[in-house]
Amino acid sequence: MYSKEAKFIKRNLSGVLLLDKPLGQTSNRSLQIVKRFFRAAKAGHTGTLDPMATGLLPVCFGEATKFSAMLLNAEKTYLATFKLGAISSTGDAEGEISEIVPAKFIDNNLNMASINKVLQAFTGQIKQTPPMFSALKHQGKPLYEYARNGQEIDRKPREIFIYDLILNSRVGNEISITVRCGMGTYIRTLVEDIGKALGFGGAYLISLRRSQIGQFELHQAYTIDKFQGEFSTEYDKFLYSVDSLLSYFPAITLNEIETSAILQGRSIANRSKETLLPSSKVRLYRSGGSFLGMGEITGIGTVVPKRLISQNEKALST
């Protein structure tokens, strides 16, 4: 345990905490709670969840923040429940709700087969128009600032990829689905579009839970209650190593001469036995196992350093 005098000293801590974000709390508030608990000097989260959403929120400490973009671009899975026949000013239950089609009419004119047919039409590569209530920027300001002032900004549709849409249940005018999707997907917009395609004027999101980001899954995460008590370094064991963010990239172990060259920003010959194409990302390790950072294969078959961890931090990050 830390002494009272030392408990507020910030630590150069590196690693990844998988958090189960609670309902009603912003992602940034969750981040600040665990950052303060771990006395971390530097922290950031990946893949913002709205206050009404719950589930997997990876928090990166220290050197892990250098690789957080790997999760921003990763495949994600959500459990979403939405209500048909009504729309929301924000696309979810926190907005102003307007009913379009009575729930009783929907109950009498909807079946599982028609739902599955529509869900199938939304799988694969589709176009989606980002919602006004989003952090996308127009002339330097987030769209949600315009939306709060009642302004509508023209948005161009963007291509997204939906890997799977699975119907879990339907009770009256409420439908629950599992969505496995690529980067840039807005689930609020997706359920609105599904509601329109089903012929009921739209839909709005009433609950959302993220269960997977890249290689990480919700069952690996901890609830925020775990980090409300007295601080102890024993909680560091809950952190995943920095290189866990790159676990799907091939690994190359370097000898001391190669390690020295990479740390000086120079390229080295690729001795990997794997066939790696140009622009392939690789994990780099020093002989003995300590993580150095991320490299990239060039067109002439060499390895160049792309992003390296501070060598002052390596004992905390591997």
Q: Which residues are catalytic?
A: 50
Closest CA to 144 of 179, 99, 92: 92
Euclidean distance between CA atoms 58 and 51, whole angstroms: 15
- What are the distances in angstroms from CA 155 to CA 94, 136, 184, 264, 307? 22, 10, 14, 44, 34
- What are the distances in angstroms from CA 57 to CA 44, 211, 214? 10, 9, 12
DSSP 213-262: ETTEEGGG-EEGGGGSS---GGGGGGPBPGGGGGTTS-EEEE-HHHHHHH
Q: Which two tokens stand for residue 11?
A: 């630590």
**How many separate helices (H) and strands (E) can be counted in the chain?**
8, 19
C-alpha 266: how far from chain center = 32
**103: helix, coil or strand?**
helix
Helix H or strand E segment including 307:
strand 302-308
**Residue ranges with strand state E in 66-217:** 76-84, 86-88, 97-99, 124-128, 137-138, 141-142, 158-171, 174-181, 203-213, 216-217
Closest CA to 292 of 270, 260, 268: 260
- What are the distances in angstroms from CA 2 to CA 41, 212, 234? 16, 34, 11
Q: Which two tokens stand for residue 284?
A: 């780099």
